[in-house]
Structure 1
Amino acid sequence: MLEDLSVTCPYCWETIPLELDLSAGSQQYIEDCSVCCRPIVVRLTVDEGGGFEVDVQGEDD
Protein backbone atom coordinates (compact mmCIF):
# COMPACT_ATOMS: atom_id res chain seq x y z
CA MET A 1 0.00 0.00 0.00
CA LEU A 2 1.66 3.20 -1.23
CA GLU A 3 0.72 6.68 -0.08
CA ASP A 4 1.85 9.97 -1.62
CA LEU A 5 2.57 12.82 0.76
CA SER A 6 4.05 16.30 0.36
CA VAL A 7 6.45 17.47 3.07
CA THR A 8 8.63 20.53 3.62
CA CYS A 9 12.38 20.09 3.36
CA PRO A 10 14.02 21.17 6.65
CA TYR A 11 16.94 22.68 4.70
CA CYS A 12 15.56 24.60 1.70
CA TRP A 13 11.91 24.83 2.86
CA GLU A 14 10.60 23.64 -0.51
CA THR A 15 7.63 21.28 -0.64
CA ILE A 16 8.72 17.89 -1.93
CA PRO A 17 6.79 14.68 -2.64
CA LEU A 18 7.39 11.45 -0.75
CA GLU A 19 6.05 8.02 -1.67
CA LEU A 20 5.47 6.04 1.52
CA ASP A 21 5.20 2.25 1.66
CA LEU A 22 2.74 1.68 4.50
CA SER A 23 2.79 -2.11 4.02
CA ALA A 24 6.35 -2.19 5.40
CA GLY A 25 5.13 -0.85 8.77
CA SER A 26 6.88 1.77 10.87
CA GLN A 27 10.35 2.67 9.69
CA GLN A 28 13.08 5.29 9.62
CA TYR A 29 15.16 6.02 6.55
CA ILE A 30 17.09 8.79 4.79
CA GLU A 31 15.87 10.32 1.55
CA ASP A 32 17.61 13.12 -0.34
CA CYS A 33 15.62 16.28 -1.02
CA SER A 34 14.69 16.43 -4.72
CA VAL A 35 15.42 20.19 -4.74
CA CYS A 36 18.58 20.76 -2.67
CA CYS A 37 19.82 17.12 -2.49
CA ARG A 38 20.47 17.27 1.28
CA PRO A 39 19.71 14.15 3.36
CA ILE A 40 16.38 14.15 5.19
CA VAL A 41 15.57 11.70 7.98
CA VAL A 42 12.05 10.35 7.41
CA ARG A 43 10.31 8.69 10.37
CA LEU A 44 7.15 6.85 9.39
CA THR A 45 4.87 5.48 12.10
CA VAL A 46 2.05 3.19 10.96
CA ASP A 47 -0.69 2.12 13.36
CA GLU A 48 -2.68 -1.10 13.22
CA GLY A 49 -5.73 0.66 11.79
CA GLY A 50 -3.81 1.83 8.72
CA GLY A 51 -3.30 5.40 9.92
CA PHE A 52 0.16 6.89 9.74
CA GLU A 53 2.30 9.82 10.91
CA VAL A 54 5.38 11.20 9.22
CA ASP A 55 8.12 13.31 10.77
CA VAL A 56 10.98 14.73 8.69
CA GLN A 57 14.08 16.47 9.96
CA GLY A 58 17.57 17.29 8.89
CA GLU A 59 20.23 14.64 9.31
CA ASP A 60 22.17 16.86 11.74
CA ASP A 61 19.14 17.65 13.98
Structure 2
Amino acid sequence: MLEARQIQCPYCGDTIDAQVDCSAGSHRYIEDCPVCCCPIEYEAEIDADGRLCSLMALRDDDG
Protein backbone atom coordinates (compact mmCIF):
# COMPACT_ATOMS: atom_id res chain seq x y z
CA MET A 1 0.00 0.00 0.00
CA LEU A 2 1.38 3.40 -0.99
CA GLU A 3 0.94 6.43 1.22
CA ALA A 4 1.61 9.98 0.05
CA ARG A 5 3.26 12.63 2.21
CA GLN A 6 4.43 16.14 1.45
CA ILE A 7 7.98 16.81 2.56
CA GLN A 8 10.47 19.63 2.16
CA CYS A 9 13.52 18.90 0.01
CA PRO A 10 16.61 19.17 2.25
CA TYR A 11 18.53 20.73 -0.67
CA CYS A 12 16.29 23.27 -2.42
CA GLY A 13 13.57 23.66 0.23
CA ASP A 14 10.65 23.08 -2.15
CA THR A 15 7.67 21.07 -0.94
CA ILE A 16 7.41 17.81 -2.87
CA ASP A 17 5.20 14.72 -2.79
CA ALA A 18 6.78 11.49 -1.57
CA GLN A 19 5.22 8.05 -2.07
CA VAL A 20 6.00 5.46 0.61
CA ASP A 21 5.42 1.71 0.22
CA CYS A 22 4.02 0.82 3.64
CA SER A 23 3.90 -2.90 2.81
CA ALA A 24 7.73 -2.96 2.87
CA GLY A 25 7.95 -2.24 6.61
CA SER A 26 10.39 0.34 7.99
CA HIS A 27 13.04 1.09 5.39
CA ARG A 28 15.37 3.64 3.77
CA TYR A 29 15.45 4.55 0.11
CA ILE A 30 16.86 7.23 -2.19
CA GLU A 31 14.94 9.26 -4.77
CA ASP A 32 15.98 12.37 -6.66
CA CYS A 33 14.14 15.61 -5.93
CA PRO A 34 11.87 16.35 -8.92
CA VAL A 35 12.76 20.06 -8.64
CA CYS A 36 16.54 20.20 -8.11
CA CYS A 37 17.45 16.55 -8.98
CA CYS A 38 19.56 16.07 -5.83
CA PRO A 39 19.44 12.62 -4.17
CA ILE A 40 17.17 12.61 -1.10
CA GLU A 41 17.57 9.77 1.38
CA TYR A 42 14.19 8.91 2.88
CA GLU A 43 13.83 7.07 6.17
CA ALA A 44 10.33 5.61 6.58
CA GLU A 45 9.10 4.20 9.89
CA ILE A 46 6.14 1.85 9.50
CA ASP A 47 4.20 0.48 12.51
CA ALA A 48 3.07 -3.13 13.03
CA ASP A 49 -0.30 -2.33 11.40
CA GLY A 50 1.38 -1.12 8.20
CA ARG A 51 0.80 2.59 8.82
CA LEU A 52 3.39 5.26 8.17
CA CYS A 53 4.55 6.69 11.52
CA SER A 54 7.24 9.04 10.26
CA LEU A 55 9.09 10.00 7.13
CA MET A 56 12.40 11.83 7.27
CA ALA A 57 14.07 13.40 4.25
CA LEU A 58 17.84 13.66 4.60
CA ARG A 59 20.64 15.03 2.50
CA ASP A 60 22.89 12.36 1.01
CA ASP A 61 25.82 14.02 2.82
CA ASP A 62 24.12 14.08 6.28
CA GLY A 63 26.06 10.86 6.97
Shift of 1:50: 3.4
Query: Is 2:59 the partner of 1:58?
Result: yes
Q: Percent identity?
A: 46
What's the TM-score once normalised by structure 1's chain length? 0.93
Shift of 1:10: 0.4
SS at match of 2:4: strand
- Paired residue for 1:35? 35
- Paired residue for 1:10? 10
Query: Is 2:15 the partner of 1:49?
Result: no
Aligned length: 61
Could you list the runs of 4 or more consecutive aligned residues of structure 1 that deviate by over 2 angstroms after TM superposition? Answer: none
**Structure 2: 5+ residue runs without aligned partners?**
none
Query: In 1, are the aligned partners of 2:25 and 2:50 still within 8 Å (CA)?
Result: no
Aligned alpha-carbon RMSD (Å)? 0.9
Equivalent AA in structure 1 for residue 57 of structure 2: V
SS at match of 2:11: coil
Note the alpha carbon deviations across 1:1-51, whole angstroms, 9 max, x for none: 110111000000000101111011011011100000000010001011333
**Structure 1: 5+ residue runs without aligned partners?**
none
C-alpha distance in structure 1 between counterparts of 2:37 and 2:28, whole Å: 18
